[in-house]
Copies of this chain bind each other. A is one copy, B any other.
Amino acid sequence: MSVVTIIGAGMMGSALAFPARENGHEVRLVGTHLDREIIDECIKTGRHPKFSVSFPSSLKYYQIEKMEQAIDGADMIIGGVSSFGVNWFADFVLPKIPDTIPLLTVTKGLVDTADGKLICYPDVWQKKLDELGSKVSINAIGGPCTSYELVAHDQTEVAFCGKNTDILRKLKNIMTTDYYHISLSTDVLGIESAVALKNGYALGIALTVGLNQKERGLDSELHFNSQAAVFGQSVKEMKRLLTYQGCDTLENLVVGVGDLYVTVYGGRTRKVGILLGRGLDIDQAKSKLNGVTLESLVVAVRVAKAVKAAAQKGKLCIKDFPLLMHIDDVITNKAEVNIPWEKFTFTV
């Protein structure tokens, strides 16, 4: 038996309590300062307010003030904050993790730099650890996994990435179940880029759903030719971006494409894309989804900024990213959705 401490009681972090606890480990779920009511509810009912089923029995719940107690004696820590909590996690949590306890983070995203680079969160945090003189091993999860389906025990394939193969094997050994299947990779930037890049593109595919609803009515049947056209273009642009990131491997591509597939269907990104496709502008769409965090928009805009910066330096060609540029234009400049279909074609 191991001890698994999850910091951040959002949906994804909390969902990982299921495979961990079902494998017989002690699981300690720590809420951040934003999760206070969630933890109260978990203590009272044994159920996360956003899940339809109860946690496995004997989970331990902690408010943020007791985080150090929850970390003490842990064999691994799962970082379960959203990308909006990256700095908080760096400043507040990282300094309190002993060198001996490996970290596995679910936080997805990329940070763009002025010269068009895209940096993943494990690398952002590594810098912080280096400053602290900490030797904590940072590992990350990528791949197609919606939290509520993991909770429902749908068969799920993800990838754990990190620099140390022994630690990766240990983490897989703790977390793997007959429904949670784990690939391992030492290409952290590759896995993290692949699963972050998909965000804008999932939004793009959802735009076609909204466009069709605008034209044919809200209750009209889904059309898949147009979704598939944007899906194909998305894969094209994602693969080019993986090449730019120096990590265009089959494994990374497949993890990203799978994640794109699930994101088209799973939740918030789809919702905002459909609203934009129907003709709402980004402010109207956001206000309709009041209270929902939209990490995907942030990532999409950052990736577009990096592409533009890289293009200015002659390292990428804007023409190779017509879909991303349009999505960025819709989000950033409130451009009307008008998918550049003909620009997706290639020719002899």
Contacts and interface: CB of A to CB of B under 8 A. Distances in A.
11 contacts: A144-B232, A146-B224, A154-B212, A155-B229, A157-B229, A157-B233, A184-B345, A224-B265, A227-B262, A231-B261, A235-B257
Contacts of A294: none
B232 A149 contact: no
A218 interface: no
Contacts of A225: 144-146, 149-150, 154-157, 262
A51 interface: no
Interface string A227-254: 1110111011001100000000011011
Nearest to A182: B345
Interface in A291-348: 339, 341-342, 344-348
A338 B345 CA distance: 39
A181 interface: yes
Nearest to A186: B348
A150 B236 CA distance: 23
Contacts of A96: none
Contacts of A43: none
A348 B185 contact: yes
A231 B260 CA distance: 10
Nearest to A266: B224
